[in-house]
Amino acid sequence: MEIDGTFIEDTYAEAFTLRAARLIITADSLRWATIAAKTMIGFATSVIGCGCEAGLDGPDVARTPDGRPGVRVLLFARSAEALQDQLVRRVGQCVMTAATTACFDDLPSEETVRVGSVLRFFGDGHQVSKVLDAALAPPGAPPRPRRIWRIPVMDGEFVGEDRFGVRKGVAGGNFLILGATPEAALRAAERAARAIREVGNVILPFPGGIVRSGSKVGAKYRKMIASTNSPYCPTLRGSVASALPDGVAAVYEIVLDGLGVEEIERATAAGVRAACGPGVLRISAGNYGGRLGKHLIRLRPLLSRA
Q: Per residue in 166-185, pLDDT tens?
A: 999 999 999 999 999 999 99
Contact 258, 203 (CB under 8 A): yes
Residues 150 and 30 in one domain: yes
Domain span at 74? 19-167
Question: Which is nearest to 91 in space by CA: 65, 58, 125, 120?
Answer: 120
Average pLDDT over residues 219-239: 92
Residue 252 and residue 126 in one domain:
no
Which of 113, 148, 167 is the last residue in one of the domains? 167
Domain's final residue, options 149, 167, 185 = 167
Per-residue pLDDT at 141: 55
- Give me the pLDDT at residue 1, please: 93
**Domain tally, the chain:** 2
Mean pLDDT of 146-152: 94
Strand 295-298 relative to strand 215-217, pairing: unpaired
Alpha-carbon gap, residue 225 to 11, rounded angstroms: 24
Classify 158 as helix, strand or coil.
Answer: strand
What pLDDT is stored for residue 288 in this prediction? 78
For the purposes of burial, counting CB atoms within 10 Å of the CB of 99, is it exposed (0-12), middle (13-18) or buried (19 or more)?
middle
Alpha carbon distance 222, 219 (integer Å): 7
Q: What is the DSSP letter of 244?
A: P
175 and 152 inside one domain: no
pLDDT band at 137 (very low <50, low <70, confident <90, very high): low
User: What CATH number is associated with residue 245?
Assistant: 3.30.70.520
